[in-house]
Amino acid sequence: MPVGGLVPRAVENAADVVVRNAKIHTGDARRPQAGALAIRDGRITAVGDDTDVAPLVGPSTTVVDALGRRVVPGLNDSHLHVIRGGLNYVLELRWDGVTSLRHALTMLREQAARTPKGQWVRVVGGWSAEQFAERRLPTPAELNEAAPDTPVFVLHLYQSAILNRAALKAAGYAKDTPDPKGGQIVRGRGGEPNGMLLAAPSALILYSTLAKAPVLEGEDRRTSTRHFLRELNRFGLTSAIDAAGGFQNFPENYATVTELAREGLLSLRIAYHLFPQTPGQELDDLTRWIETVRPGDGDEWLRLNGAGENLTWAAADFENFAEPRPELTPYEEDFEKAVRLLMENGWGFRLHATYDETIRRDLAVFEKLAAEGLFPSGNRWLFDHAETVSPESLDRIASLGGSLSVQNRLSFQGEVFTRRYGPGVAADAPPVRAMLERGLTVAAGTDATRVSSYNPWVALHWLISGRTVGGLTIRPPQNRVDRATALAMYTTAGAALTGEQDVKGVLRPGCYGDLAVLSHDYFTVPEQEIPHIESVLTVVGGRIVHAAAEYEGMDEELPAVSPAWSPVARFGGYQVSGPAPGAGARQAELLGQVVAESELHRRWRAGRGPATEHHQPFDPCFLL
């Protein structure tokens, strides 16, 4: 962008990119604010004001006038299933950000008409019934009406999935299909599956059903991953720590990001974890990996960070808050062997642990190994989630050298969590302030894509406001954080979990040239508007990887979305709903939705025949 007053000149060490006329939050305590910066060879070379960067503008320098916008360090999601998400992104219809079920079903109906025979329509995470004006899930009947012949699979959190008749048939669910362990196939009066699958409490039934749908192959996987990374760049994300997960095998499912990294086509820095996939074979997998790769292998774009988020399947608790907390069988023997193996070989790890009961059992194993000198040993390790972790457990984590990564799962599940455990427990789920007060490294993330949305600003809003996407305030002021602290949890803390705190998460000379120019000033915008922030320009290592608004066209060109019938080709990813309306506008919006629902219900009743139509008042009081 040509900028008056900055004249390119032949200079040594000219910058590749200069950002000027900005309100830069550097994240660096030594210089927290600045107006301009320069990037060369992927690293920041100068931070100051316009006069400081003017001498660095050469003939080939890209000069970006930020137009007074807020600039922040690139965001880093510390718990994102980015590899798995990328392999499936273009196949999924995203309801993230959709504000009414009526609109969501309209999208589904249109996509079903575009989807070729043999393919599924799948809505996989990123939404909650509480975000809809109707405050409810779709019914199997509504899915059947929207898509009579195309299989439809709709995943709702860790709790349930709704399938239409075509999907039940494609998945092979019939009257004689037994319920899998930990799951339930809901049935009608005759015993036939009615389209509802319940995690009771294990989500394996949900994910194993989804695994029966067709997958992408070859070049489509690369295209899907590149578009997903661009979608993350859209919100200012420049790094993520991949938490692996079920149905993500190493090395085959990591091949796409590895190829893209080799070709210099990643637009997001990824530190990944390895997750043993087969119960009973975990120690064999870990042993084989330890002999093959080591944490830190790779480069600044793609690197191994350790094991997890499961080490042994038996040690993982389930997080379906619609069900009681699961009672885990004894798992300590194999779990101890896995932890010992990792610690003795210099491997870090992360552990999925929702409940304090699980965390206490894990800590007992660590303390046993600490007596042998294996904790703390310098290996990076952390607990993920930790919604009900106790103060005593936090003290034990601190003494053993651990860290934490928290996600905004309760911004999507806060209502059901509160109904089960009460507002008192929900107020401290998780106890973020107590974690920070102990000096623990506490990084933030989303746990996207199959539960929460990947939009980091929704997670930041939850940390700051304590409110769910449905508007329920569950976390009181004493368990919230200010905007600067929340941003640090999304930048410097995530860098610490990968050992990159000296080069990532702050904007100072010598650090990576990773930043986001924001659509609205995160530090001054009204709190309710934080979820609607996006990046208008995202830079990773001096590369412009996303550009919108005045900067449209400055980013790298991507191949067209394929296949052509992809939901992303029609609808994109996260659905922009616009600024939150005021109270009066919101009331009118909700009333309009109710009226629309009432009219749909009237038509349904009329379609059922005269027997269900009541033309006269049925209450005698109305006859007087």
- Measured CA to CA, the distance from residue 111 to residue 567 in angstroms comes to 6
Task: Say if residue 602's pLDDT is above 70.
Answer: no
pLDDT tens for 154-171 read 999 989 999 999 999 999
Amino acid identity, position 457: W
**C-alpha to C-alpha distances, 393 to 113, 367, 398, 435, nearest whole angstrom:** 52, 12, 9, 10
- Mean pLDDT to the nearest integer, 92-100: 97
Q: Is 242 left (phi over 0), alpha (psi -120 to 50) or beta?
A: beta
pLDDT-above-90 percentage for the chain: 88
pLDDT score for 280? 93
pLDDT tens for 273-303 read 999 999 999 999 999 999 999 999 999 999 9
pLDDT score for 246? 84
Enter the DSSP assignment of 549. G
Band (591; pLDDT cuts 50, 70, 90): low
Dump the DSSP string for 564-580: TT-HHHHH-SSPP--SP
Helices (H), 147-190: 165-171
Alpha carbon 495 to chain centroid distance? Answer: 17
Q: Which of 382, 403, 526, 385 is nearest to 461 (CA)?
A: 526
- Mean pLDDT to the nearest integer, 29-38: 98
Residue that wins the pLDDT comparison between 592 and 113: 113
Task: Say if residue 619's pLDDT is above 70.
Answer: no
Task: Say if residue 180's pLDDT is above 50.
Answer: yes
Task: Say if residue 593's pLDDT is above 50.
Answer: no
Widest CA span of the chain, in angstroms? 93
pLDDT score for 3? 59
Residue that wins the pLDDT comparison between 615 and 317: 317
The CA angle 59-62-64, to the nearest 5 degrees, is 135
- H-helix or E-strand spanning residue 40: strand 36-40
Phi and psi at residue 586, to the nearest 5°: -65, -40
pLDDT tens for 227-279 read 999 999 999 999 999 999 888 899 999 999 999 999 999 999 999 999 999 99
What's the mean pLDDT when you consider all of the chain?
92
- Measured CA to CA, the distance from residue 542 to residue 552 in angstroms comes to 17
Task: Say if residue 607's pLDDT is above 60.
Answer: no
Buried b (16+ CB within 10 A) or exposed e, 515-542: bbbbbbebeebeeebbbbbbbbbbbbbb
Q: Which two tokens stand for residue 26?
A: 């550097």
pLDDT score for 604? 40
Pairing mode of beta strands 381-385, 183-187: unpaired
Enter the DSSP assignment of 449. T
- Sorted by sequence, the CB contacts under 8 Å of residue 417 that are 6+ apart come out as 321, 387, 410, 425, 426, 429, 474
- Sheet strands (E) in 200-341: 237-242, 269-274, 302-307
Q: Encode 554-568 in three state secondary structure.
A: CCCCCCCCCCCCCHH
pLDDT score for 615? 36
pLDDT-above-70 percentage for the chain: 92
Band (613; pLDDT cuts 50, 70, 90): very low
Band (81; pLDDT cuts 50, 70, 90): very high
Pairing mode of beta strands 75-80, 237-242: parallel
- Mean pLDDT to the nearest integer, 586-593: 49
Band (623; pLDDT cuts 50, 70, 90): very low
pLDDT tens for 323-361 read 999 999 999 999 999 999 999 999 999 999 999 999 999
Band (318; pLDDT cuts 50, 70, 90): confident
Task: Say if residue 605's pLDDT is above 60.
Answer: no
**C-alpha to C-alpha distances, 145 to 105, 110, 138, nearest whole angstrom:** 10, 12, 11
Task: Say if residue 102's pLDDT is above 60.
Answer: yes
Residue that wins the pLDDT comparison between 496 and 576: 496
Task: Say if residue 587's pLDDT is above 80.
Answer: no
pTM beyond 0.85: the answer is yes
Quote the crossing angle between the two packed helices 101-114 and 583-607, to the nearest 10°: 60
Q: Which of 136, 165, 236 is nearest to 547 (CA)?
A: 236
pLDDT tens for 379-396 read 999 999 999 999 999 999
- Measured CA to CA, the distance from residue 526 to residue 524 in angstroms comes to 6
Q: Name the 3-class secondary structure at 420.
A: helix
Band (47; pLDDT cuts 50, 70, 90): very high
Task: Say if residue 596's pLDDT is above 70.
Answer: no
pLDDT score for 317? 93
pLDDT score for 12? 85
